[in-house]
Amino acid sequence: MARLFLGLDSSTQSLSAVVIDLDSRTVVYEKSLNFDRALPGYKTQNGVLPHRDPLVKHSSPLLWADALDQIFAAMKADGVALGEILAISGSGQQHGSVYLNRTAAAALKGLNPKKSLVQNLRGVFARKTSPIWMDSSTAAECAEIRQKLGGIKATAAATGSDAFERFTGPQIRKFAKTEPAAYAETAQIALVSSFMASLLAGKIAPIDYGDGAGMNLMDIRKKVWHAGALTATAPKLKAKLPPLAPAGKVIGKVSSYFVQKYGLNAEALATVWTGDNPASVIGLGLIKSGQVAISLGTSDTFFGSMAKCQTDARGEGHVFGSPAGGYMTLICFKNGSLAREKVRELYGLKDWNAFGKLLAKTKPGNNGAILLPWFDAEIVPRVNRPGIHRFDLAEKDAAANARAIFEAQMLSMRRHSAWMKVAPECIFATGGASNDRALLQVLADVMNCRVLCIEVSKSAALGAALLAAHGCLTAAGEKPQWSKLVAGFTNPVAGSEVRPDKKAAKIYDRLLEKFAECEQTALAGL
Ligand code: XUL
């Protein structure tokens, strides 16, 4: 019998499933269910409920539960060998929170397969909707928590990140302040990940060290709830939080609801879920310290593993627990593809090919020209007043501007990831712009390391399936090695390697100093 494992990813816009066969090292099934299209009754737009205040972004926990029913029904209809799945794990969009009342534990224990999950969950919520990571309505609460914890550096050192609007702690504080009666009725607060794990396990599930670190509530070094952060956030909070545990740890057998309704094996194991980014670290194979991935998408994201916990004194980057043990970092640069496209449009270039040809007319280092492309408010470094800044760069010089945008983005990544004190030995590039060779060459030269492309559609769900395998083998007394477990599932695209040019790398070492000065000058003038 094949050893099958199921990974689910409950993201902002969809629920995805990946089934892997561990022995043949293949993905045997993939499915994605788009919330807006599959469940239009919830009236979400891109997975978010409409709200008159643009800063408020909520979704519905019932929608996520409904989607779980739907995806199991689809897997059954598609003939997936559900009876052969040994364990299930998953990942959720990070930071989003679910508020359950006193009746939730009993409802989870007694899930009735004759009813839907939505019917089973009627009346268990202390708050009907869930704030998600796109919400930015908690600036006041962030300031209050940060101040009580001793400022940006101290907050990041304690919890792994400065207080951020989307993080769960500030969101809980806002709820406790604005709806004290509903907060008092809340018996349990779950993350999206632990809520979904609770449905599968039929009991309140732990929160893992990866997603738990996205709350501003976990002691990042000791991996326990941080007493000072709990006090700074809301009254009687400790009693409302589940225990913390490693991702993939077995919670128990899956709820009989899924056995009777969809034909899961009664012995199949439900395990602790994690956040989508920590799961992606596994799904991308970033197991060893120094392995880094850069996702070149709407925003550019830098993430990778590090053995020792280092936090960012400037409070720009995040540190989460890595499901592979140790830590991982996440640094998000908002002006990614959109900024690259703006420059392309500005100079009337019809496609990236034309852009690359123009860029090739210039030399690495661009004769010292620097562009700071803050078309939108930037996260790293923090820029609230958008704008473009040019240093020793003429606006009319199209070729120099084309090179300058690529160089600026890659230099910014190098500068703002230096606090990790991890020299990448190899970078995996993913996302829409990762097939642009000109961009990858600048990346390899600025970072002075090899770049390989990796396809990552559904990397979080794949990582979750691997977590299920890891948890299941561990529970059976084995000592599975992550490097062996991911082998074969996370191969880079053949022939995609880009090597650094040593001369160019030296030029960028020097240019980095000028770049830092230009950035400081621009920030001081805002
Ligand atoms: C990470 C974050 C997002 C969500 C997306 O801090 O807010 O990447 O996890 O689902």
CATH assignment of the domain containing 500: 3.30.420.40
Query: Would residue 170 count as lying in a domain?
Result: yes
pLDDT band at 433 (very low <50, low <70, confident <90, very high): confident
CA 133 to ligand 1 center in whole angstroms: 6
* Average pLDDT of span 61-87: 98
Asked if residue 484 is part of any domain, the answer here is: no
**Residue 311 pLDDT more than 80?**
yes
Amino acid residing at 400: A
What is the rounded average pLDDT of the residues 198-208?
A: 98
Q: How many domains does the chain have?
A: 2
| 92 CA: nearest ligand 1 atom | 10
Calculate mean pLDDT across residues 246-267: 98
What is the 72 CA–ligand 1 centroid distance (Å)? 25
Q: Stretch 259-266: mean pLDDT, rounded?
A: 98
Residues 200 and 226 in one domain: yes
Task: Report pLDDT for 221.
Answer: 97
Our mutation pick for probing the ligand 1 site, out of 8, 94, 216, counting the most ligand atoms within 8 A of Cβ, is: 94
Q: Is the residue at 222 inside a domain?
A: yes
pLDDT for position 523: 96
At residue 178, the pLDDT reads 98
13-40 pLDDT, tens digit per residue, is 999 999 999 999 999 999 999 999 999 9
Of 262, 203, 284, 199, the closest CA to residue 490 belongs to 284
- Bridge partners (DSSP) of residue 5 are 20, 87
* Measured torsion, CA atoms of residues 455, 461, 466, 469, in degrees rounded to the nearest 10: -150
Pairing of strands 426-430, 450-453: parallel
> Which of 299, 332, 334 has the most ligand 1 atoms within 8 A of CB, as the residue to mutate?
332
pLDDT mean over 453-478? 93
276-283 vs 459-475: helix axis angle to the nearest 10?
Answer: 80
Which one of 240, 263, 279 terminates a domain? Answer: 279
In a domain, 290, yes or no: yes
- Confidence label for 130 from pLDDT (cuts 50, 70 and 90): very high
Residue 288 pLDDT: 87
Same domain for 176 and 88?
yes
Helix (H), strand (E) counts: the chain: 20, 23
In the listed set 279, 296, 316, which residue is the last one of a domain according to the structure? Answer: 279
Q: Quote the DSSP letter at residue 224.
A: E
Same domain, residue pair 175 and 313 = no
Q: Give me ligand 1 centre to Cα 361, in Å.
A: 38
d(C-alpha 153, C-alpha 34), whole Å: 39
The reply to whether 466 falls in a domain is no
Can you tell me which atom of ligand 1 is nearest the CA of 93? 10
Range of 524's domain?
285-455+494-526
Say yes or no: CB of residue 320 within 6 Å of ligand 1.
no
Residues 418 and 511 in one domain: yes
In-domain check, residue 478: no
Q: pLDDT tens digits for 352-394? A: 999 999 999 999 999 999 999 999 889 899 898 999 999 999 9
The pLDDT value given to residue 58? 98
Strands 269-271 and 85-92: parallel
493 CB burial (10 A radius; 0-12, 13-18, 19+): middle
Quote the longest CA-to-CA distance of the chain. Answer: 71
Both 97 and 238 in a single domain?
Answer: yes
For 365, other C-beta atoms within 10 Å of its C-beta total 18
Say if residue 322 is in the same domain as residue 230.
Answer: no
Share above pLDDT 70 across residues of the chain, in percent, rounded to a whole number: 100
Q: DSSP H helical segments within 288-391, as ranges?
A: 337-346, 352-359
Mean pLDDT of 175-186: 98
Query: Is residue 523 in a domain?
Result: yes
- Is the model's pLDDT at 1 over the cut of 80? no
Does residue 423 have a pLDDT over 90?
no
Whether residues 292 and 275 share a domain: the answer is no
What was the pLDDT predicted at 422?
A: 84
Helix axes 398-417, 352-359, angle to 10 degrees: 90
What's the mean pLDDT when you consider all of the chain? 96
Judgement on whether residues 265 and 306 belong to the same structural domain of the protein: no
Q: Can you give the pLDDT at residue 425?
A: 86
CA 28 – ligand 1 centroid, Å: 27
pLDDT value of position 458: 84
Categorize the per-residue pLDDT at 2 as very low, low, confident or very high, splitting at 50, 70 and 90: confident
The atom number, within ligand 1, closest to the CA of 276 reads 9
Indicate if 304 and 193 belong to the same structural domain: no
pLDDT digits (tens, 9 = 90+) for 134-164: 999 999 999 999 999 999 999 999 999 999 9
> Does residue 168 have its Cβ closer than 6 Å to ligand 1?
no
Mean pLDDT along residues 467-478: 98
Residue 495 in tokens: 């022939």
Question: How many A from CA of 513 to the centre of ligand 1?
Answer: 31
Q: Are residues 219 and 359 in the same domain?
A: no
Cβ burial of 421 (10 Å; 0-12, 13-18, 19+) is: exposed
Residue (of 73, 7, 55, 5) closest to 464 by Cα position: 7
Residues 202 and 345 grouped into a single domain: no
Query: Is 97 exposed, middle or buried, given 0-12, 13-18 or 19+ CB atoms closer than 10 A?
Result: buried
Q: How far is the CA of 366 from the centre of ligand 1 (A)?
A: 34
Quote the pLDDT of residue 206: 98
Distance CA 344, CA 333 (A): 19
| Whether residue 325 sits in one domain with residue 183 | no
| Any ligand 1 atom below 6 A from CB of 166 | yes
Q: How crowded is residue 115: how many other Cβ atoms within 10 Å of its Cβ?
A: 13
Name the residue of 10, 59, 95, 334 to mutate for ligand 1: max ligand atoms within 8 A of Cβ: 95
Least confident range from 185-189, 267-271, 411-415, 424-428: namely: 424-428
Domain boundary among 255, 279, 303: 279
Taking 3-state DSSP, the helix, strand and coil percentages for the chain, each rounded to the nearest 5, stand at: 40, 20, 35
Least reliable range by pLDDT among 88-97, 301-310, 477-486: 301-310
Residue 487 domain-assigned (yes or no): no
